Amino acid sequence: MSAQSDGLRLLHVHAHPDDESSKGAATTARYVAEGVRVMVATCTGGEAGSILNPKMDTPENWANLPELRRAEMAEAARILGIEQVWLGFTDSGMGPEVAPNSFAAQHVDHAAGPLVKVIREFRPQVLTTYDEHGGYPHPDHIMCHKISMAAVKAAADPSAWPEHGEPWQVAKVYYDISLNRARLAALDNAMHASGRPRPYADWLSRMEDDGRGEADRLTTFIECADYFEVRDQALLAHATQIDPDGDWFEVPLDLQREVWPTEDYQLVASTVPTSLPENDLFAGLR
């Protein structure tokens, strides 16, 4: 299949640099390999983040964290073969209070403007974002959801943001739910069955506590096991955020491919006929 000649375009909207590599990156790598143009719109620069890799936890790196995170994003984009754009907002941190100039403190209709411009210029048929809970309750993730949904609507409205170009209707919108409870539980159980420690027991316990039940929302399952290694390489490019000896890499790739070879999504809007479940984000558009 030569998707490039078909003009297929996929836009992922993410809150921070590294989100594009920890959520849906194998899907991205698969579509890039098939010739689809893929762009990531990154809402913030991750300025309020921490250094989560002990090997990178130095005063010099803390002093240069915004620049480091931009460089890491550029390397991850190179590995994934994507286009990437910054929406220009400031990281809000985990809260509960957020600074007045931060992303989460903006008015949704105003903050959607830069993304409307990206949508109208890139003209994606498919857009992915987070669910109404942000995937997890980080203020920037929740705001990312809000501006994504507002921008999809506004981008198609000729009366909204006329300075940002001709209207464009995104045909399909998905929530990325690749870090869903069913997947983590299956991998955790498979590790236990093979005599190894359970890597996700604490994570799963927290998911129970916050009441998330993503598994029953899944509609779309993208076979992308052949690209798990590319996903991990992109993750490792975010060296301040990802510990190479940490939880992300505890489950061997061969076990991941056997137990859960997909990344998973919820279709939440479509202008084309659909039949669920799907195995292609562009189902109905090819």
Helices assigned H by DSSP within 133-281: 139-155, 181-193, 201-209, 228-237, 253-259
Phi, psi angles (nearest 5°) of residue 72? -65, -40
Q: Is 141 annotated as a binding residue?
A: yes
Distance CA 154, CA 162 (A): 10
**Three-state secondary structure call for residue 50:** coil
Q: What is the maximum span of the chain, computed from C-alpha positions, in angstroms?
A: 60
**Three-state secondary structure call for residue 81:** coil
Distance CA 25, CA 232 (A): 9
Q: Is 19 annotated as a binding residue?
A: yes
Contacting residues for 6 by C-beta, under 8 A, at least 6 apart: 35, 286
- Tally Cβ neighbours within 10 Å of residue 181: 18
- Say which residue the tokens 């509960």 belong to: 96
- The identity of residue 26, as a single letter, is A
Terminal alpha carbon distance of the chain: 10
Binding residues for Zn(2+): 16, 19, 141
Binding residues: 16, 19, 141
